[in-house]
Amino acid sequence: MAVVPIESLPASGPDRERECCRVLEEGNILVFAETPFAISPVDRAFLLERRQADAGYHKNIAYRPKSDRVTGVARQHPDDARRLREVLGRYSRTVVDFAAGLFTGYSRRWKVDYASFRPQEEASRKLSSHSRNDLLHVDAFPTRPTRGDRIFRIFTNVNPAAPRLWKTGETFPELAERFAVSSGLLERASKQTVGRSLLKAASAAGLPVRSRPPYDEFMLAFHNFLKENGEYQESARAERPVFPPDATWMVFTDMVTHAVLQGQFALEQTFIIGRETLTVPDRAPIAVLERLAGHAMA
């Protein structure tokens, strides 16, 4: 894993997009020392006044672009709620426009997922072990299976004074090689076919059940496995990237193991990138797992 400054890549032309995609898909973080899109001073000031009280249950404040709705926020004055929705909506549209210009290939088939705002100091958060951000992990969504498509995230540190500190470890292909088979997780995720067909039937009959493809079953189990594995957390080959105030960085978080150690006030937009629009599809977690398993995973 390397932190790659955008200035080190071609400044324009088709090579720029291809190189950006390659750097990201190979498991690196692409960083802009200065945020390359506008967030107005008024919006920034509003965000810096937010506090997330009673955040024990929710991890983050999320903005859902499709329904133009904010979730995960403590009870607040209706005027504040409306403004927060407007500010996050503006941020989300701005990032999506910017990313669509840089990643024309991805944007043809991506799904714009949630945006989030993280107003709490990460160094002192109290969360359950599966929700903890300070343990190395790859991302997986418990309620939104990707079926082999990729989780791509763009972060901005809106804190005017303090950096955001991450820890990063090995990339998915290395970890899968080490743990996917030996942990038994790959076999377990592949074997649940019977359970899944029952679930599908139940779901078709209108019962409130959810079935996950083997890929998503594995990724979710792997996320928990890494966080629960004290020996791995202790021994991981970790680096500590520092993202200064106003930096923006982007990363496939299903690829790069990451943890947040310190920092307050980050914005983030998630995209689900279609498998068939990747530049280096062989490195994608699903390709790695299908090679190891010897069969399709989604």
Q: Would you tell me which residues interact with Fe ion (CB under 5 A)?
A: 139
Question: Residue 169 Cβ, how far from Fe ion at the closest point, in Å?
Answer: 12
Comparing CB distances to Fe ion, the nearer of 19 and 25 is 25
- Angle at alpha carbon of residue 151, lines to 129 and 20, rounded to 5°: 130
Measured from each CB, the residue nearest to Fe ion is 139
Question: Residue 259 Cβ, how far from Fe ion at the closest point, in Å?
Answer: 8
Question: Residue 101 Cβ, how far from Fe ion at the closest point, in Å?
Answer: 26
Secondary structure element (H or E) that encloses residue 116, with its range = strand 111-118
Comparing CB distances to Fe ion, the nearer of 190 and 270 is 270
* Sole residue written with tokens 């990747």: 278
Question: Residue 7 Cβ, how far from Fe ion at the closest point, in Å?
Answer: 26
Structure tokens at 70: 């904010």
The C-alpha atoms of residue 32 and residue 202 are separated, in whole angstroms, by: 47
Residue 205, SS3? coil
Those residues with Cβ within 8 angstroms of residue 194's Cβ, 6 or more apart along the chain or in another chain: none
Comparing CB distances to Fe ion, the nearer of 135 and 176 is 135
Question: Residue 88 Cβ, how far from Fe ion at the closest point, in Å?
Answer: 19
Rounded to whole angstroms, what are the CA distances from 233 to 28, 190, 228, 230, 236? Answer: 20, 26, 8, 5, 6
Comparing CB distances to Fe ion, the nearer of 43 and 139 is 139
The answer to whether 164 and 134 are in contact (CB under 8 A) is: no
Comparing CB distances to Fe ion, the nearer of 59 and 283 is 59
The answer to whether 278 and 151 are in contact (CB under 8 A) is: no
The C-alpha atoms of residue 3 and residue 24 are separated, in whole angstroms, by: 10
Which among 86, 96, 113 has a CA at the least distance from the CA of 37? 96
Comparing CB distances to Fe ion, the nearer of 168 and 190 is 168
Comparing CB distances to Fe ion, the nearer of 99 and 226 is 226
Rounded to whole angstroms, what are the CA distances from 212 to 54, 190, 225, 267, 289? Answer: 31, 11, 18, 29, 16
Which among 178, 72, 176, 56 has a CA at the least distance from the CA of 117? 72
Question: Residue 145 Cβ, how far from Fe ion at the closest point, in Å?
Answer: 17
b/e per residue 241-268 (b: at least 16 CB within 10 A): bebebbbbbbbbbbbbbbbbebbbbbbb
Comparing CB distances to Fe ion, the nearer of 139 and 149 is 139
